Structure 1
Amino acid sequence: MGGVSDVLGDRTPRPEPVRRLLRTSDGIQIDSVLLRRALPRTSAVVLANGFTGTWRNPATAMIADRMLGVGDVMTFDFRGHHESTGESTVGDQEVLDLQAVVEHLRGLGYTRVATVGFSMGAAVAIRHAGMFGGVEAVAAVSGPSHWFYQGTTSMRLLTFGVERPMGRFFLRKARNVRVVSRAWEPVPPDPTELAGRIAPAGLLVVHGDADSYFPVDHAHRIHEAADDPKELWIEPGMGHAERAMTPRLADRIAEWLAPFLSPATPPPTG
């Protein structure tokens, strides 16, 4: 894997980012940004942020920069976030957003695509791979194993934010996130229900033992529900999602993705 680390440190001039509005199958416009190296490549990594996250965040920018070692990188804002249209459904219809991004990359000629999701984006990435396929690997960071978890103060506050008019008003004004006011109908399958459908694509589950939203048992449940090839990393001292990521952890995830994105290297089998 030394070659991956060498590329991760490359400072060769790169093309300007390409920003596009992509359209989902249900008519939502998704604000996306494609980051590339100077030479054309056929592998790509998609970053799926957590709830209220955006490609503008410095943490997301750092992760994207580290992923450039193994493929071009597309970041985007889920529906209802910033300049993407529509309203957030907090993990339900967001699978259509991710599918629009993956389809766009396939249309550009990328033949090997991996998704890396954080928190809500981790749940979306797992569900997307189980429902649509079309990816070589998924890395799910700080994701929930099931819906409606209320076992931590952070999740109880988040639930207040999305379910109460006052909370949605705050999210709209303070975070530029518009949340749908109606409840899920029907309730979508949770990540553990779809994790078993990801194979033969690879699944990496990453979780911090200091996560203030979801305890590590969520990661264990997702990992247990999946088939090989799969791997579980419990990170000592790590908090939640993008803001808890370090450059070294981002590099390790990129290194794990590398065999799945390189047609010359067979991916691990377990």
Structure 2
Amino acid sequence: MKRKTWLKIVIGILSVLFIIDIMASFYFYNLAIERGEKDFLQGNEDLEVSAETMDVLLEGDWRSWVDGQAFDEWTSVSHDGLELKGYFLEAEEPSDKVVVMAHGYLGNAMDMGLFGQYYYEQKGYNIFTADARGHGASEGDYIGFGWHDRLDYVDWIDRIIETYGNDTEIILHGISMGAAAVLMTAGEELPDNVKAVIADSPYTSVNDLFAYQMDRMFNLPTFPFLPSTSIVTQLRAGYSLKEASALEQVKKAEVPILYIHGDADTFVPTSMSETLYENTKSDAELMIVEGAGHGEPYVAAKDKYINKVNAFLEKYTEWQ
């Protein structure tokens, strides 16, 4: 009798733990991946930036510049049937150079005007940016964290070349989730038109990022919550957290990559860019910006940032 009693108790405990794990998995999916507002990021100390950076991000002149531009709106249908929106701005003088820019988590295409203004006004390039699936005016009820987005960017690249000709030269520039997206794109078979990739504050993989944040934000172990959340993500969004890996993609990359990261980034640790850099198959460079938090290097050290980008483009491409 005692043995049966203990067996029932153990089974009961395991059943309760299993139910808790399933509930937690759906909670984390809804929290981070399902499309919608994300209140959990409000007040997050890891996302705090300097007052100067906040002023630039919220009220910088680049915002009025974006509002004053006549972007051409493009529509694309993804491989899985989502209608996606992109925005192309032709240079004031004819140019065969196009910068494809990828925004961060919960952002939208026009957020990349922070970088686009420089490329457009100072370099004279065409610029293109898109609302990632699950963001802005693009369809999608989940956030792809760059994984499915990589195929969307391949489609956008093909369309740019088809529209503007085979002599078109392209660079990819992304920040945070957008940086991971362009790195994941770099691991695909790309046309020779793609000359370089600039990744600002990227993560190695969605699995690594979630593991880091589960510990930092919730003080939870990765097992069993992370594997079960990955299963839910596979079932509902069509990808697993482990397969969504910028690290595995850069191991296949042929295009030169410039990594930029702040050494005060506690939301996506600087070590992730270091790991990516060390494992990149193609030529790569790494710039660490002292004192910069997550996604802050451009504002925190603008001259250094621009000089590095220009030197990188001059070294690995014919862009002047």
Using structure 2 for the length normalisation, give the TM-score. 0.63
5 Å matches for 1:186-197? 187-197=242-252
Partner SS for 2:187? helix
Distance 1:154 1:41 in 2: 47
| Kept after mapping to 1: 8 A contact 2:90/2:126 | yes
Report the CA distance shift for 1:154/1:76 in structure 2 as closer, same or farther (over 3 A).
farther
Give the CA deviation at 1:56: 2.9
Shift of 1:118: 1.2
Q: How does 1:103-122 map to 2 (within 5 A)?
A: 103-109=158-164, 111-122=168-179
Aligned-residue offset at 1:257:
5.0
* SS in structure 2 of the partner of residue 75 of structure 1: strand
Give the TM-score of the pair, scaled to structure 1.
0.74
* Alpha-carbon shift at residue 153 of structure 1 (Å): 7.4
| Residue 144 (structure 1) aligns with | 203
CA contact (8 A) 2:186 2:253 kept: yes
Kindly provide the amino acid, as one letter, of the partner of residue 45 in structure 1: V
Q: What amino acid maps onto 1:195 in structure 2?
A: V
Residue aligned with 1:132, SS: coil
One-letter amino acid of the structure 2 residue matched with residue 145 of structure 1:
T
Mapped to 2, the partners of 1:128 and 1:190 lie a distance apart of: 11
Asked whether the equivalents of residues 147 and 190 of structure 1 are also in contact (C-alpha less than 8 Å), the reply is yes
Partners of 2:89 and 2:187 in 1: CA distance: 26
Cα deviation 1:167-220 (Å, max 9, x = unaligned): xxxxxxxxxxxxx95573484251111212222x21001110111211111011
Q: Deviations over 1:39-85 (max 9, x none)?
A: 2211111111111111233xx21211112216211011101112101
Q: Rg: which structure is higher?
A: 2
Q: How far apart in 1 are the matches of 2:240 and 2:109?
A: 29
Residue in 1 that maps onto 2:318: 262
- Is 1:207 aligned to residue 261 of structure 2? yes
Three-state SS of the structure 2 residue aligned to 1:116 is strand
Bigger shift: residues 253-262 or 114-123: 253-262
Q: What SS does structure 1 have at the residue aligned with 2:259?
A: strand
Measured in 2, the distance between the counterparts of 1:258 and 1:31 equals: 28
Among residues 210, 217, 220, which one is paired with 2:271 in the alignment?
217
Q: 1:62 to 1:99 in 2, by over 3 A?
A: same
Q: Where in structure 2 are there 5+ consecutive unaligned residues?
A: 1-64, 226-234
Matched with 1:65 is: 117
Structure 1 counterpart of 2:114, which letter? Answer: M
Which SS does the other structure have where 2:81 is aligned? coil
With over 3 angstroms needed to count, the CA separation of the structure-2 counterparts of 1:46 and 1:215, relative to structure 1, is: same
How much has 1:253 moved relative to structure 2?
Answer: 5.2
- Percent of pairs with identical residues: 21
Q: CA RMSD in A?
A: 2.9
Question: Residue 92 of structure 1: which of 131, 147, 150 is its match?
Answer: 147
- Normalized per residue, the structure richer in helix is 2
Aligned 8 A contact 2:187 2:249 in 1: yes
Q: Which has the higher contact order (CA 8 A, sep 6+)?
A: 1
Contact 1:139–1:253 (Cα < 8 Å) also in 2: no
Whether 1:77 and 2:131 are equivalent positions in the alignment is yes
* Shift, 1:229, TM fit: 1.9
Aligned length: 228
SS at match of 1:245: helix
User: Following the alignment from structure 1 to structure 2, what is the Cα–Cα distance between the partners of residues 115 and 79?
Assistant: 17
Q: After TM superposition, give the deviation of residue 116 of structure 1 in Å.
A: 0.7
Q: Is the 8 A contact 1:204 1:232 kept in 2?
A: yes
Residue number in structure 2 paired with 1:235: 289
Instruction: Give the counterpart letter for 1:64 in structure 2.
Output: G
Secondary structure class of the residue paired with 1:46: strand
